Amino acid sequence: MKARAAKPRAAAHKPIKQVWYHPVSDAIDEPDDIDDTIPEPAAIVSSVRLREPLNLLVMIKSEGMRLDQYVQLHLGTDFSRTDVQKSIVSGSITVNGKSSKPGYKVRKLDKLHVAMPEPTHEIPVPEDIPLHILYQDDHLVLINKPPHMVVHPAKGNWSGTLVNALQWHFREHLSTGNGHLRAGIVHRLDKDTSGVILVAKDDVTHRELSMQFESRKVFKEYVAIVAGELDRDSDYIEGALKMHPHDRLKMVVSTDADAKHALSYYEVLERFRGFTLVKVQPRTGRTHQIRVHLLHVGCPVLADKIYGGRVSVKLSELTPELPDGEDSVLIGRQALHAFRLRFQHPRTEQWIEAEAPLPPDMRCLLEALRQYRPYR
């Protein structure tokens, strides 16, 4: 980890502004920030459908990734890595019009043609699931995704997803450039991460927004509650990331040559005894970047079952004097929230900024920390 000069530790609470959305002046400098979620690929041909071949254009941040890993990452859990490898070997997946190998390292501007076997599941069924819409117009919509909601259907999650809800509320007014299973989805948030997510209503808007994510022109800001106390009020964490050598669900900080550069800035918002409320601005867009970086500096996100080793935080963990029968679960998922998103509207060229209020479980956890673990 590299660090800048230290600032005095904060002892006071910094309130989080609760604004839903507002246009931003064109005078604001163009951001160079994106989140640690994976943007959906920008399709070369915008008319791609679920059962049609998919054409992908490799951008610079994915350069050096294995071909099978890159394709499987963009297909999600619809197909396994083995399925992808078989398709590469059979010639169903090509690079720049030629057959390749699963271990080929993709390069910037490589054109991939992906023709996977027809999936056995159907197009997502519209479901009447309420959505908290922060902003919408004729071309896009910004939604405050609740925790525990999967973004798009996949193996084991064919209903109750954000895409099922989008099909009900917007039906034919969604982009389909990445197939009907991901209709409208420009980027993804983990199931247990809440907050702002961007949805495209047409293929042209989707493609242009995807390019903004790929070129790091979308600004995203997260709020997390972590275990431990960060040494500095503001700093940056710089550590290259790669897939865990033995656990495909995890990423790790690594100095290996194939690890991808990753940079996150943070600012402490409020301190508690043994815990910290922190704002994080990822400057690169690696998988699980925020969670891995915070773990790397000794402050894992609370209730992060993959990186923190726990699935919930109970009131009894904050106050040992709690009477019998009064214990309760304060939060049952990772305490990470996509708080703010700012980008340039691809049609109007105006800057749009949306903010999602903290969800009830994170507010409940903060109230308990202020009561039982105030900073001294």
Question: Distance between CA 307 and CA 286 in Å, rounded?
Answer: 15
Write out the H or E segment, with its range, that includes residue 163.
helix 162-170
Contacts of 215 (CB under 8 A, 6+ apart): 59
Q: What positions carry a catalytic annotation?
A: 190
Within 10 A of 241 (CB to CB), how many other CB atoms are there?
Answer: 22
Query: For 265, phi and psi rounded to 5 degrees?
Result: -100, 145
Three-class secondary structure of residue 73 per DSSP? helix
Side chain identity at residue 46, one-letter code: S
Side chain identity at residue 299, one-letter code: C
Contacts of 36 (CB under 8 A, 6+ apart): 262, 264, 282, 284, 285, 286, 287, 288, 289, 290, 291
Tokens (6 digits) for 372 = 């039982």
Write out the H or E segment, with its range, that includes residue 89.
helix 81-90
As beta bridge partners, residue 282 has 264
In eight-state DSSP terms, residue 179 is -
Question: Distance between CA 305 and CA 335 in Å, rounded?
Answer: 11
